Structures are given as structure tokens and as C-alpha cells.
Structure 1
């Protein structure tokens, strides 16, 4: 009997990707053939998992819906469903504007989506996933929502308040992933450092990281989206002591000016931020820090921006991204503050920071030439094998392009000698044995 086929299109961040994987896990168990993000499939049912975080992401989500709505009108597909952040926030408006869509669902409507496509949610499959990532790494989402209420951020309006996944469920899910061949776990949430407070009355991220390191088959544990205010010492201790935890931290700082930090409602000061960076680097000397910055926030003066530039110069982050402020309805900044920084100024500030960071990245990479680094192999691409060091996360950070006449198996940890470097990528050759 021919399997029913469904096409899941995922937009936005890795947290959305995990939601799609949970959906696919349920569908797979019910006999569906699941296709991810395909440009050529004959699937007659399509589910679009949307992003609604910032303007560009919302535009991409709307354009994707319109493309598949046109396909439905042309008879190329039979059913079109929309889920995720954009749908959660603008369900009524989307329903009015896009009658071609069969139904809209929010971020916590998994059972309703399954019912709509003609199947039933099975509780015994909680935590089961059909991975969209290569088989050797996976994201582990440890909580949903956020309690911080930063001035510019719509996440609490979309995803709600912080809700932790029970500790035991996460260990079970990670163990299952390891049995399926996952070697690198990337721990994610809206705020990973807040994990556990709602369920246990205390932060348990450090304890969770240590427990993940005890799972057979897991070689690397990587931490993303760590909120800087009240950063738990237990997490620093775990990162310092556990060899399986990548010496890598994604810690979005957004700004350094005290004026901006207060207006953004970030919950910490410039002095506290600098102290945290110093503490991380003292206790974990080889740590790679990734951060995200926001420029053009309401009221940001040239002096505020120059202070941020000086901070980037002094801090020399290993990885850095920067975004121009965009007004998100319903947030504090959209309601209470005037979007008074011209778009051209926002763009110029983004470009100035990225030019500075490009030079910092180039200098850091050039110092790696001649060193041997352990690399996890991700794939073969053209004439190169492509991998990453523990200091680089998939999709967002730099890669190592490896020349090897011998085949290298994805997921293996391999010693690579760095032979050349540019601004955002490295080149290398085999330096030893892999495992």
C-alpha cells in the first residue's frame, strides 16, 4: 500500500526545527512519508512551520504561504496547513487574508495539527523525532517561552512564559537520540540558563549539562541562547570541568551602553556584562564566545553606538552577529518608545560593527594556522570534506574545509592540521586518526 506523503516546510530558528521534528515523529509512526523542505516533491499535503520574530522573518513566512497557496489554487497540492510563531500571533488576520489555507495552528497545537491531517497524537511517542539535521547532531530543546520581557522582543507574546521540560524527559530524549547515532547535542531554548526554576524552584542547567555528558555515545554538548543576567556559576563550573561540553557559549548581549541596557530591560549593567565576560574567560581560558548585538534601538545616540564599537574592539568576540532594530507591535519599545533612528543609520551601524568583527575574526583565524584541532565531520562538498571545531556551531559559525583523498565518515571526530585561514573559514588536512 502506498504511503501517504506530507511535506513539512520549516522557517526560522532551530527551536522551530525541533517542533517540526516532533510533528514528523508522530506522523512517521502513523505510516506517513515525511518530506522536509523539498523543492521537488509530489506530496499533496503541506505544513508550513512559520517564524514571526522580526520583520524579515515574517515577510519570508508570508511569501512562503503565498507560494503554496498558489500551488493549491493550481491544483498541485490538496491541503495546506500553517503552524508556528507567525500563525500563533496573527492567526485571525491570516485566516481572513488567506482563505486557501485549510487551517492555522499556533506553537502548542501539535495534537490539533495531527487531527487535521487525519491522525491522532500518541502520548507514548512524546520526545520521538524524525531529524532534519545530519544524523550525527541534534538540537535538544529544554524549555519553551521566556519570562524576561526585553523591551524589543515579541517572544513572550508568541511563546508565552518560561516552561521547562522535565529533567527525566530530557535525559530520555537525549539517550534515544544517542542510540540513533547522534554524537553532538546542541542545547537550546529561549533562555537556557533559566532552566528548572518553574519546575524545581532552582536553576538546573549545570546539573543537566553534566547528566547529558554521562550518556553513552554523546561526544559533544553545546550550549546556545544563554541569557547573561544572573548567569549561573554552576554552568561555568560544568563547562570548565566536563571535557564533553564544548568550550563554546552563545550569549546574546544586545548592547553595552547602560542607557540602552536599561531601556531594553535587559536586567544587567555594563559593569556586570564586562565582569561576566571576564569570569567566563578566566575560568574557561579557551572558551569561544558568540554574541548577538542590536543597533538602532529607540534613543540610541552616536555616543551609545561608539561605546558599543569600543566594547566589540576590547572584547574580541570569536563569533558575532548584529541586527538593526525593527519595531514589533505589542512590545514595550513599540508601545512606549519612538523608532527614532533612521533606517540608513541603522544599516550603517550594522556595517561598521560587521567590518570591525570581520577583522577580528580574520586575526583570530590566522593564529590557528599550523595548529591541530579536533573537528567533527559534517559532509562532503565538492572537493572538500567539511567539518567544525568545538568552537563552531552548525549553520551559524565557520567551517573547516579539509583536503583528503581518503573518505571521512560524517560524525567522526578527526584531528585536522589548519593549513590556511580567511575571515570566516579554515582549511586543513588530516593530522592523525579519527574516532
Structure 2
């Protein structure tokens, strides 16, 4: 392979990991900087909104106060003018009312009706009968000032010769309406104009302050995130080492860091993993150093672990044995009489079959593994090759019945054959 290609291939995962770490750190920083910027902008917007609402409320209060002051100043004048118009109108229609001339009443009231400030005129007799009624069709203008005055329509009658006394003929009611107090409108308009200008200025200043505060908050968050990113990167590297099986390098714990608790927890986990890993390696070393074949099975006889001696005895790899039943390693003639529960409590002689089909006699010792955790329950079987012992037993039986030098049956064999013949 091309060395350059090999170098790229070897450095590819490392470069990808660095790029991923950089992107993760940048995303981490951007996320918190953006969050700080958003919080500052929202806070500034909230404060600006509160100030603007309060300013508008103050402006409305000032406008209402100015309008009220203008009304208080204009209302007495309007009342006096309404009374003056009503008095003049009553004097002008007194003769027509006394004569019962309705047309004369209308003609005499026409000049007053033409006044644009007069909204309504009503003439009522002493008996309560309405003699004349008029109302301007435009109706009442919203926000306008109005004044209503009722005066008596009187005339002088000589009831006693040489002495004239007043007599009430009817009642005249005049309603005056002024569209709006000009000073109040002017002051309110000026206040509203000033309020609009100040609102625009407030929004502009609020935007500038929000942007400045957002930038400052984002910069502060970026700096704090950089300080926080260092222990995070250290934790990531430590976690990667632990994930790769390197438990020798301790995790650096800084008491004043914000992630000190997490660092301490990771260090405790590393210590426990290192301790448990050492125990597991030690157990594997012990099992693999044994000359006898060892099989660890589940309660139903499925092989979960096999040491090196077992693999060598059967000429199988450990991966090939895992997941098989313990019956699969026995010779076919031994399987029908094999009882798993009984075999896990005794020592027996049986025969196993290798990958090549060779049969090997073994001493098979079983024992149960009791545990509260079902994951660790099962059986352990130890198989010892007894081929040499079986060969020695056959040799001993042969020497007991045959002469070692001449190969001729001896007296014991002669008696044995004689007894068989007689029987």
C-alpha cells in the first residue's frame, strides 16, 4: 500500500475525532453564547417595554389632566353662555307663547337655532305640554362639552291697575355643545407628539442597549464556556481512555472546578473498573494455567466459558465452544446416559469427542455455582484426560494374566480359562 495512503488511513479516525471534538466544543460555546445573548436581549426588551408602557401611561395621565383642567375652565363659561342664550330666547318668545302663536315661536327661535353651538331647544307649557322641540341632527360629538340650562318664559301682566306683575307662561330649555376645548386639544396633541418622539428614542436606546448587552453577555458566556470546556475535554479524553480499556491513568480532579463532582465520580468508576478488570484477568490467568479442561455452563448446560486446556483437548477454538451444549462435547454413546443435574454433583468417567472425531476418556467432575444473581448461576465441569491411566490399567491387567517375557498365559490365566470351560 502507498505510504501516503496508509498514513491517511491511519490518521483518518484521529482527524475525524479531533474534528468532531472541535465541532462539539464550538457548538457548546455557540449554544451558551447564543443563550446568554438571547437572555440579555429579552431582559432589555422587557425593561424597555415596561418603561415605554409606563411612559405612555404617564402621557395619557397628563393628557387627561390637561383636558380636565381645560374643561374646568371652559365649563363655567359655557354654562354662562347657555344661560344668556336661554334668557334672550325666553324673552323673545314670551309674546308668541302668550298669544298661542306656534309659528311665531318658531320664527323667534330661528336665530338661536342657527347658532352652531346650540344642540337642542325645548319649550314646555305650564301644563307640561310640549310647545316646541328641536334637536340638531348631527347628534352629540364624542368628547364634546355640553351645558343644559332651563329658564322660565315670563311676561308682565297688569292684574292691578298701575302695577305689572310677572307671570310664568312656559319653560325653555337650551342645550349648548362645544366640540372640544381647543387648549386641551392643543396640549394633548403636543404631549402625544412628544410622547411619540420619546417612544422612538426609547426604542432606539433600548435596541442599542440590548444589542450591547447581548454582545457583552455572549462574550462573557463564550469566555466562561471556554473555561468550562477545558475540564469537559479532559473528561472526554479520560472517558475515551476508559472505553479503550486503559484504567491505569487516573482522572485529574480539580476541587475548584464546576465539574469536580463529575470528575470524582469518573475517577471512582475508573478505580472500580480497574479493580474488577484485574480480578477478571487474574481469574482468566488461573483458569488458563490449569492443565485440566474447565467448562462453565448455564443452568441448562450451555457453555459460557472454556479455558485453554479445554480448547486444546477438543481441538476447538473458544468462540466455537461458546454457546454449545455440554452434551455436544461428549461421544454419541455417552450422551443418552448423561444427566446434567446428576453430573453437576458427582465425578464420573466418560468419553469426549474431538474435532477430528477422536475419542478421549476423561474423568468428569461437576459442581453447581450458586448465586443470588441469576446471571451467575450455572455449573462448572472439570475434565481430566485419563488416557494414560486407562493404558496403565490395561497393562496391569495383562501382566496379571500373561508372562511378560514369553507372552504365555500364566497360572492365573490358566485357572480363569479352566473355570470358564467348566462353567
TM-score by length of 1: 0.17
Structure with a larger share of its residues in helix: 2
Question: Comparing both chains, which one has the higher relative contact order based on Cα–Cα distances under 8 Å and sequence gaps of 6 or more?
Answer: 2
TM-score by length of 2: 0.17
Structure with a larger share of its residues in strand: 1
Instruction: Name which one, 1 or 2, has greater alpha-carbon Rg.
Output: 2
